[in-house]
Amino acid sequence: MGVPCVRVEREAGEETRSRLAEADLVAGGYEIVVDEAAIYLPVTDPAEVPADLDVVEYDAPARETQTMPSDEVSFEPSYERIGDVIVIDEDDSERARALADAIMASDLPARTVLNRASKVKGETRVRDWEVLATEDETNPTEVVHREYGCEFALDLAEMYFSPRLATERHRVVEQVAENERTFDMFAGVGPFVIPAAKRGAEAVGVDVNEAAVKYLRENARRNGVEERVTAINADVREVADDYEDWADRLVMNLPHSADEFLDAAVRLAGDDCTLHYYDIQHEDDPYGPGERAVRAAAEPEYDVTVETRHTVRSYAPHELNVVLDVRLTR
Ligand code: SAM
């Protein structure tokens, strides 16, 4: 069905739109259409349009409005997207149900809604999930996540992954130089390893979780860097001797217990090595314990210089997730 539109030459489009807007005549429910010769500006009342403008009936499409979860629930919803899986953190089961329904009814590209059902736990740092809604009964927790031009396939039920660390990972990866040797001691599905390899590094990723390493290998192929990535399923302490003196860069993202792995890190470090050491500490002294632990493990064999002290995010009340970028020079 036709909509009354002011038809003007394209060059006059913006000026005419402003005139119509000042007169409160723009019909916001329809799209402005541009063709080769003219622009069609939908109007609310053709009788009010100034006489010097030409009004025609035109088939302008209705403007699509996006429905968001917040349109459907009476509280301010909080959620996180990992590919087309939407993650929420609701203790109240009624709120969780309402939010899951709102997400599935919204225009968000959502295949599955998961509620956090435990903290990350154990050696592999995997959490339990409650599947609140899914269009995929076979693999509700498997997903492809995109981050800074890389694709990561992963299964949230089997391995750790957090999209919240994307900016931090990017900060680290931007420091990677072509042909350097990057070693991720706790690699997961490869969110440090894959982009480092994409920048031209020779990258090794180790993880004790066999499923994560399977996805790490797949992600290396997906991103076209399998030739530069070595994925190893092991306890990193058992691998350290095979890569002694090897690394130009070490990533240690196991923040609750990284200090237990510093002896292995020192074995892996080459003559001049940058160590990204993640830690969770009280806000009163967030960097001190990490720095002391690194010095205790690396000195006097290495000169230790803390180049960056950075808060990644707040972890819990009064607790911070921090990172130290430490230069180890033999
Ligand atoms: N770097 C990944 C990321 O940012 O998504 C994963 C980080 S996750 C916090 C820590 C990872 O370390 C888990 O995937 C876990 O399985 C692995 N891990 C724990 N202990 C390990 C060990 N002794 N050796 C190798 N990997 C280990």
- In the numeric block, which tokens belong to residue 79? 């959620």
Helix, strand, coil share (%) of the chain residues, nearest 5 = 30, 35, 35
Q: Is the CB of 161 under 6 A from ligand 1?
A: yes
Q: Using alpha carbons only, give the angle 123, 128, 130 rounded to the nearest 5 degrees.
A: 170
Which among 184, 142, 207 is positioned nearest to 276, based on CA atoms?
184
Are 205 and 243 in contact by the 8 Å Cβ rule? The answer is no
CA 82 to ligand 1 centroid distance, Å: 19
Side chain identity at residue 49, one-letter code: V
Q: Is the CB of 208 under 6 A from ligand 1?
A: yes
Q: Residue 314 and residue 189: Cα distance in Å, rounded? A: 24
Q: Is the CB of 233 under 6 A from ligand 1?
A: no
What's the confidence (pLDDT) of residue 63?
A: 82
- Report, as ranges of residue numbers, the positions in the chain whose pLDDT lies below 70: none
CA 128 to ligand 1 centroid distance, Å: 17
What's the confidence (pLDDT) of residue 62?
A: 87
What's the confidence (pLDDT) of residue 117?
A: 96
**pLDDT tens, position by position, 254-306:** 999 999 999 999 999 999 999 999 999 999 999 999 999 999 999 999 999 99
CA 206 to ligand 1 centroid distance, Å: 8
Burial label, 273 (beta-carbon count in 10 A; 0-12, 13-18, 19+): buried
CA 189 to ligand 1 centroid distance, Å: 9
**pLDDT tens, position by position, 168-185:** 999 999 999 999 999 999
| Ligand 1 atom at shortest distance from the alpha carbon of 235 | 24
Q: Is the CB of 165 under 6 A from ligand 1?
A: yes
- In the numeric block, which tokens belong to residue 105? 């009814």
Considering just the CA atoms, what is the radius of gyration of the chain in Å?
27
Nearest CA to ligand 1 atom 12: 186
Q: Is the CB of 264 under 6 A from ligand 1?
A: no
